[in-house]
Structure 1
Amino acid sequence: MAFFAHSEYEPLRLKSVTDLVREVERLSVENAQLQRAVTSHAQVDQAIGALVVLAEISPADAWDVLRDVSQRTNTKLHTIAGLVLEFAQGCPLPGTVREALRDALARRRPSPAAVH
């Protein structure tokens, strides 16, 4: 059985079974990466929502807080988001994350003197 590859940039050409296997492997890896990205993005969005409600800050500030905590603790953003979601459900935060989150939130809240 013959298999052909066609693209806008290259003419119709015969592909070997080995080429097809490599292409399937490449697409499988790409698919797994995309699935992880979608899951991670959803988790970050949920953590932003949790911070909006719990800390009474804007979504933009919540994003900044997550990013800030991630950078200051040298922890991946999706990991911080997962910890925030667990915290929202009653689990404790690790000490370094708790301190970085407290500090990041303090930097985004107006000072008492600024409130009329």
Structure 2
Amino acid sequence: MRHTDDEFDEVRSELAQRRRQLASQPVIEQAKGMLMLLHDLDDEGAFALLREVSQLSNTKLHEVAAIVLSAGSDSLPGPGRDASTAAVLGTLESLTRPDGVEPG
């Protein structure tokens, strides 16, 4: 059986996607841990919160996780921070404030 160039391209593309997923996994796990600690969430609740913030702010999940980690370490720039960072943090704040309802 002979494989076509299109089949090889498809496999290469899938492999690249899997590598990106593996590279972002530690960041997501660390962000989940931070949210679990700060908001008394379990593993599923923390992931649900990350996912919801990602969807509501139209930001990729691994980017949300990186922003959460940066915010927790106070390494975010101040007033000049970019729009996606502001959207993520604003969404996260609105979902976790005491008078709001947290997912999970």
Number of aligned positions between the proteins: 93
Higher relative contact order by CA 8 Å / sep ≥ 6: 1 or 2? 2
Q: Which residue of 2 aligns with 1:100?
A: 91
Q: Which has the higher strand share?
A: 1
Give the whole-Å Cα distance in 1 for the aligned partners of 2:88 and 2:43: 20
Which of 33, 52, 63 is the matching residue for 1:49? 33
User: 1: CA distance between counterparts of 2:56 and 2:7?
Assistant: 40
Could you say which residue in structure 2 is the equivalent of 1:36? Answer: 20
Question: Equivalent residue of 1:97, what SS?
Answer: helix
Structure with greater Cα Rg? 1
Which ranges of structure 2 fall in alignment gaps of 5 or more residues?
A: none
Q: Which moved more, 1:63-72 or 1:86-95?
A: 86-95
**Normalised TM-score (structure 1):** 0.63
User: Which consecutive unaligned segments of at least 5 residues does structure 1 have?
Assistant: 1-12, 110-116
Q: Percent identity?
A: 29
TM-score, normalising length: structure 2: 0.69
**Aligned residues: CA RMSD:** 2.5
SS of aligned partner of 2:41: coil
